[in-house]
Amino acid sequence: MSAIDYGEKIPNNVNLSEDRTLQRALEQWQPRYLDWWDDMGPDGSRDLDVYLRTAVSVDPSGWAQFGYVKMPEYRWGIFLNPAEKDRKIHFGEHKGEDAWQDVPGEYRANLRRIIVTQGDTEPASVEQQRHLGRTAPSLYDLRNLFQVNVEEGRHLWAMVYLLHKYFGRDGREEGEALLERRSGQQDNPRILQAFNEETPDWLSFFMFTYFTDRDGKFQLCALAESSFDPLARTTRFMLTEEAHHMFVGESGVSRVIQRTCQVMRELKTDDPALLRAAGVIDLPTIQRYLNFHFSVTIDLFGADESSNAAIFYNTGLKGRFEEGKRDDDHQLKGVGYKVLQPRGNRLVEAEVPMLNALNEVLRDDYIRDSIAGVERWNKVIEKAGIAFRLRAPHKAFHRNIGSLAGVKVSPEGQVVSEGEWAAKVDQWLPSASDRVFVASLMGRVAEPGKFANWIAPPAMGINRQPVDFRYVRFN
């Protein structure tokens, strides 16, 4: 494993100094990146000392170094997991051949598109979350938000490195464009729709990090199988960081639930009005937020039948989740897969070639993983002795991509009329008044160890620090 040269402007373990052209290109990109961070990064955070984790190498001892950092001075670096000797391509038509250390000409356009699409989500989420620091429910949460932000920034670095290193001038232009698009902007939006939605409050943020960053995990896992070895090694390391983001989401929602249950028991009520008056988020509102984020996120996996997905797999660019752990022929010849399709007023399963349904395969893996976490939230409710269960909505609920787009389906999976949908949508998705209420709870709590009324403290601190540690210092 190569050591990181701290004398260099850009910490890396890819021997950047040996490739002068690349190094200069990245050194030119770096100030542009910092300008972007100043413009679009966390609002009002410039002079804060934040207790952050910085990767200084990819081995277990080096990649989680904790200390106070001012975020613009965070050392965004380039890290690849160690190379696996003689790695072979393990799926698709090139199965058995050596993994590629460079981009094959015929797959150049598709690989670039995959990398740009992944890369675009990273700065997008930083933009979506940039005002949340103003209303953090504790220093602990503020720190976690910033950790997520700097690591999304590092993930952008990881993708830009690949673009600069392997895609020449096209790649450099794409690197620029990644800094120019803006989440939610009309004339130059981010590529994927979920990344143009607002993240207006902390419940949305926790739901986003739970559901949408988990999409990130599954996409990265699929790319970590790639025949293009630098992409596989880069995404493997990104996954380690992504885990923190999902932790923020899972534990965040769990703490909101825990606090609500506590107040429900104290007041002996499940009346949302009384609970809202007591300053906590009632469980039905949490369910509606869950419905929204779940459904918006599963759209990210793309159309249920996609020839692109088939091509990406067949050519070895993008595998399935845990491709290496599956025992089939890894070429999927003649294998079928069931996808849901609307037929009149009901949903039916139709068998299609698995190769064309790979988006659906990944989506189903994602759904399984997501539901497991929802069940862990239910344990919190159960433990409080409250008879209420959160549920992930039906896969066809509130979909805007693929064959289910346009058909109105209830969270239970019943096709409903436009009229019924309109009548019930406020029971199923967060209404304007739900969002106003949740927003009304938001306000910064900046005293160490103190938490906003609507959220419980975490079970333990970061890096074995106590919960009342001063995770962020205001200067």
Partner 1 sequence: MDQPAASVIKQHLIDPEICIRCNTCESTCPVGAITHDSRNYVVDPDKCKACMACIPPCPTGSIDNWRTMPRARAYSVVEQLGWDALPPELSARQLTEAGEAAAAAAVRQSETSSQPAVAPGAETFSSAAFSAVVPPWSAAHPFTSLYGPKAAEASVTATVAGNVRVTEAGKDYDTHHIVLDFGTMPFPVLEGQSIGIIPPGTDDSGRPHHPRQYSLASPRNGERPGYNNVSLTVKRVLEDHQGSPVRGLASNYLCDLEVGDKVQVVGPFGTTFLMPNHPKSHIVMICTGTGSAPMRAMTEWRRRLRHSGKFEGGKLLLFFGARSKEELPYFGPLQSLPKDFIDINLAFSRIPGAPRRYVQDLIRTRAADVAPLLADPNAYFYVCGLKAMEEGVLLALRDVAEGAGLNWDAVAKALKRDGRLHLETY
Q: Which of 122, 197, 201, 250 binds partner 1 (CB under 8 A)?
A: 250
Which residues within the stretch 55-84 sit at the binding site for partner 1 (CB under 8 A)?
60-61, 63-64
Q: Which of 30, 240, 403, 431 binds partner 1 (CB under 8 A)?
A: 240
Cα–Cα distance, 472 to 70 (Å, whole number) = 10
We find the least distance from the C-beta atom of residue 151 to partner 1, in angstroms, to be 11
Q: Which of 24, 326, 333, 379 binds partner 1 (CB under 8 A)?
A: 379
Length of the chain: 475
We find the least distance from the C-beta atom of residue 59 to partner 1, in angstroms, to be 8
For 308, counting Cβ atoms within 10 Å of its Cβ (0-12 exposed, 13-18 middle, 19+ buried), the class is middle
The tokens for 417 are 């009329």
Using CB under 8 A as the binding rule, whether residue 466 contacts partner 1 is answered as yes
> Which distant-in-sequence residues (6+ apart) come within 8 Å of 210 by Cβ?
246, 249, 250, 252, 253, 293, 370, 373
Which residues within the stretch 204-233 sit at the binding site for partner 1 (CB under 8 A)?
217
Binding piece for partner 1, criterion CB under 8 A, among 71-79, 135-143, 420-428, 455-463: 455-463
We find the least distance from the C-beta atom of residue 457 to partner 1, in angstroms, to be 12
Convert residues 21-60 into a mask of x (bound to partner 1 by CB under 8 A) and - (unbound). Answer: ---------------------------------------x
CB 380 within 8 Å of CB 258: yes
Using CB under 8 A as the binding rule, whether residue 246 contacts partner 1 is answered as yes
Residue 70 β-bridge partners: 49
Using CB under 8 A as the binding rule, whether residue 383 contacts partner 1 is answered as yes
Using CB under 8 A as the binding rule, whether residue 385 contacts partner 1 is answered as yes
We find the least distance from the C-beta atom of residue 62 to partner 1, in angstroms, to be 9
Residue 50 β-bridge partners: 69, 472
We find the least distance from the C-beta atom of residue 188 to partner 1, in angstroms, to be 33
Main-chain dihedrals φ then ψ at residue 67, nearest 5 degrees: 180, 165
Q: Which of 277, 372, 422, 436 binds partner 1 (CB under 8 A)?
A: 372
Using CB under 8 A as the binding rule, whether residue 150 contacts partner 1 is answered as no
Instruction: Report CA dihedral (207, 212, 215, 221) to the nearest 10 degrees.
Output: -90
Using CB under 8 A as the binding rule, whether residue 265 contacts partner 1 is answered as yes
Q: Which is nearer to partner 1, 62 or 168 (CB)?
A: 62
We find the least distance from the C-beta atom of residue 466 to partner 1, in angstroms, to be 7
Using CB under 8 A as the binding rule, whether residue 251 contacts partner 1 is answered as yes
Residue 352 β-bridge partners: 337
We find the least distance from the C-beta atom of residue 298 to partner 1, in angstroms, to be 19
> Which distant-in-sequence residues (6+ apart) come within 8 Å of 67 by Cβ?
51, 52, 54
Using CB under 8 A as the binding rule, whether residue 373 contacts partner 1 is answered as yes
Q: Which helix (H) or strand (E) holds 65?
A: strand 65-70
Residue 340 β-bridge partners: 349
Interface residue list for partner 1 (CB under 8 A): 60-61, 63-64, 217, 236, 239-240, 242-244, 246-247, 250-251, 265, 368-369, 372-373, 376, 379, 383-385, 459-462, 464-466
